[in-house]
């Protein structure tokens, strides 16, 4: 191909140049020597085109979808917050209590638990610290033991607790439920309301507190 280009380059004439007339029989053809015959046409140069730079742009599109699920709530059920005020009987205590759907039974803070027997049945004597009454003597109660329950918590040794029956009032709802007795003085709340009070009676909205306000004790007259 290079030789063809050279031949084509030597025979190339621009439009404004006239091609030399052919020589006749008696004409003398003048020849002009060129120092370098190859200078009439430049050497072919191989041109290598650089590949175009391709930039890859990664575009990540993140979409988040929120799904709202509406759960119907029965009109006759009590709506409770994470903490509610509870009236405890016997004892006449009014306590701010934590609502715990993870506990099967309710729990009350009691100290100096002393089991004893009365009329052939097991009873327990215990003391209740009245909130805000550090200078007063604790309230002493005696109740029959319904049963014993063993409670296990992660990171703690299992405990055997006596279970008694007590009347709990939240809002205008009062239930007689089983309550296990243990020392909860290290906890923020002395009373814990478990599922045995909540079952079939209340639903819990953990984003709220004190929804029911002060408990309304039933009229005992």
CB-based burial of residue 1 (10 Å sphere; 0-12 exposed, 13-18 middle, 19+ buried)? exposed
pLDDT on residue 186: 80
CA angle 212, 213, 217 (to 5 degrees): 90
Task: Identify the CA nearest to 205 among candidates 78, 68, 96.
Answer: 78
In this prediction, residue 21 carries a pLDDT of 55
Contacts of 112 by beta carbon, 8 Å cutoff, 6+ apart: 125, 126, 127
CA distances from 155 to 37, 130, 152, 158 (A): 102, 29, 9, 9
∠ CA 67-73-79, rounded to 5°: 110
Q: What local confidence, expressed as pLDDT, does residue 158 receive?
A: 75
Task: Give the chain's length.
Answer: 221
CB 212 within 8 A of CB 137: no
Q: What is the dihedral of CA 123, 129, 130, 132, to 10 degrees?
A: 180
Which residues in the chain belong to E strands, given as ranges? 78-80, 83-89, 93-99, 106-109, 111-118, 121-128, 139-144, 147-151, 159-170, 173-182, 191-193, 202-204
pLDDT at 71: 46
Mean pLDDT by 10 residues, the chain (221 residues): 47 51 53 51 66 57 50 67 94 91 91 93 90 73 92 73 94 92 86 91 88 83 48
Which residues neighbour 142 within 8 Å (Cβ) at sequence distance 6 or greater? 123, 124, 125
What is the bridge-based pairing of β-strands 93-99 and 191-193?
A: parallel
Q: Given this model, what pLDDT does residue 6 score?
A: 43
Q: What's the topology of domain 78-204?
A: Cathepsin D, subunit A; domain 1 (2.40.70)
Cβ count near 35 (within 10 Å): 5
């Amino acid at each position: 191909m290079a030789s063809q280009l050279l031949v084509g380059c030597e025979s190339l004439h621009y439009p404004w140049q006239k091609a030399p007339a052919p020589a006749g029989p008696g004409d003398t053809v003048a020849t002009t020597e060129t120092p370098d015959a190859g200078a009439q046409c430049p050497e072919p140069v191989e041109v290598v085109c650089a590949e175009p730079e391709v930039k890859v742009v990664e575009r990540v599109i993140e979409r988040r979808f929120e799904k709202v699920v509406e759960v119907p709530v029965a009109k006759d059920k009590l709506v409770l917050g994470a903490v509610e005020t509870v009236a405890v009987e016997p004892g006449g205590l009014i306590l701010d209590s934590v609502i715990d759907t993870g506990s099967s039974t309710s729990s009350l803070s009691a100290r100096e638990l002393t089991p004893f027997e009365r009329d052939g049945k097991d009873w327990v004597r215990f003391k209740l610290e009245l909130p805000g009454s550090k200078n007063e003597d604790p309230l002493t109660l005696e109740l029959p033991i319904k049963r014993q329950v063993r409670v296990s918590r992660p990171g703690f040794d299992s405990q055997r607790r006596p279970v008694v029956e007590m009347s709990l009032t939240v809002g205008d709802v009062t239930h007689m439920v089983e309550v296990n007795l243990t020392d909860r003085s290290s906890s923020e709340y002395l009373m814990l309301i478990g599922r045995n009070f909540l079952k079939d009676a209340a639903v819990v909205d953990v984003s709220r507190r004190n929804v029911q306000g002060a408990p309304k004790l039933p009229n005992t007259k």
